[in-house]
Amino acid sequence: MTSRFSIAVDAMSGDFGPRSTIPATIAFAESHSDTDISLFLSDGTVVPKELPANISIVYSPSVVTMDDSPANVLRNKQDSTMAQAIEACSQGAADAVISAGNTGALVALGRHHLGTFDNIRRPAICKAIPTLAGHSYMLDLGANAIADAQMLHNFALMGSAMAAELDHNPSPSVAILNIGVEHSKGNRVIHEVDALLKQDGRLNYVGYIEGDAIYSGSVDVIVADGFVGNVALKVSEGVARLALGQLKSSFRQNLYGRLLGRFAQPLLRKWHKQFDPARYNGACLLGLNRPLIKSHGSTDERGFLSALVMAKELAGTGLTQRLQAQAIARKLGEGQ
């Protein structure tokens, strides 16, 4: 008998809200008949008259905005689409939950409703990033602007476990993002976590990695605090847009450029497909007791669809349950 999955969707989240989340969910539902989707919408939101049979609508009185503080959301917005979707997952009504909303509020509600693994103080945002060798995993991408050495140690363990499970890699390499690869480089926290990882025989720790090597594919897991990780990711996205824009502009400048652009189209399409941000949209909050997926706030319909596929994949593989078991076996947060 085919297993059924269920996903709770905060459909009011992101820069485009229902304009991208609803079409993406409909497209996903039509191609994944084994998955039930609960769309959490604010009261009065208009939806198409005919929806796939595996989509249900849940209306909520309020919405979490990008300006809402985590404290305000916890106190006053438990009736929001974000909170209600996460609570549905915590109650077992959904196998995974997805939102493109306010990161701080999402982390706070995730900790409140879903809880964290034993000995894990804070979850970390982890996602696959495209590299010259295929992909790597990077965390934290924004859940924790400040992280001490013990937190970074736990991030390394969780990222390593995720790479091992999803890529069937028995010994994924792990590196700390730093301003240089020399032993003397970095601040106090970097030196402290470097010492912890060197002593941890459970990890294939290879030392430091610089920002210009993030997309080289030289390591499987890249660890940073949420401030550095988020800035590195956003800068990369901006540089990619700049390069693509400059390339398009060059191809439009004159007849020679237009001819060259026509011949280069197959290569450009291949490059865009390989490094398309929409393809890699969707990050997992590692350390929570249920799968919680953070979609990029500015993503479009294609990107949100990718995040939905990721949510189903995580629910289907039972990654969270295996990470929980590994957390207990490895005693995350307690060293060796």
Query: pLDDT tens digits, residue range 305-330?
Result: 999 999 998 888 777 777 776 665 55
- Check residues 3 and 198 and name the one with the higher pLDDT: 198
Name the nearest CA neighbour of 98 among 47, 167, 37: 37
Q: What is the C-alpha separation between 132 and 306, in angstroms, rounded?
A: 21
Residue 45 near residue 61 (C-beta atoms within 8 A)? no
What is the per-residue pLDDT across 154-164, written as a single tens digit (0 to 9) for each? 999 999 988 99
CB atoms inside a 10 Å sphere around CB 243:
10
- Hey, what amino acid is at 257? G
Q: Is 101's pLDDT higher than 50?
A: yes
Q: Which two tokens stand for residue 149?
A: 């050495």
Specify the fold of 1-120+287-336. Isopropylmalate Dehydrogenase (3.40.718)
Q: How sure is the predictor about 1, in pLDDT bands with cuts at 50, 70 and 90?
A: very low
* Both structure tokens of 174: 């792990």
The pLDDT, as a whole number, for residue 219 is 98
For 276-293, the pLDDT digits (tens) are 666 778 899 999 999 999
Please tell me the predicted confidence (pLDDT) of residue 313: 87
85-94, 161-170, 246-255, 312-321 — most confident range: 85-94
Do strands 55-60 and 35-42 pair parallel, antiparallel, or not at all (unpaired)?
A: parallel
Domain boundaries 128-279, CATH class: alpha beta
Other residues' Cβ atoms within 10 Å of the Cβ of residue 149 = 17
* 213 closest CA partner among 268, 242, 175: 175
Strand order in the sheet with 173-177: 55-60, 35-42, 5-10, 96-99, 292-294, 283-286, 124-131, 134-139, 221-223, 173-177, 204-209
Same fold flag, 1-120+287-336 and 128-279? yes
Domain boundaries, the chain: 1-120+287-336, 128-279
Question: DSSP characters for 114-154?
Answer: H-B-TT--S-EEEEEEEETTEEEEEE-SSS-SS--HHHHHH
Task: State the CB neighbour count (10 A cutoff) for residue 111.
Answer: 23
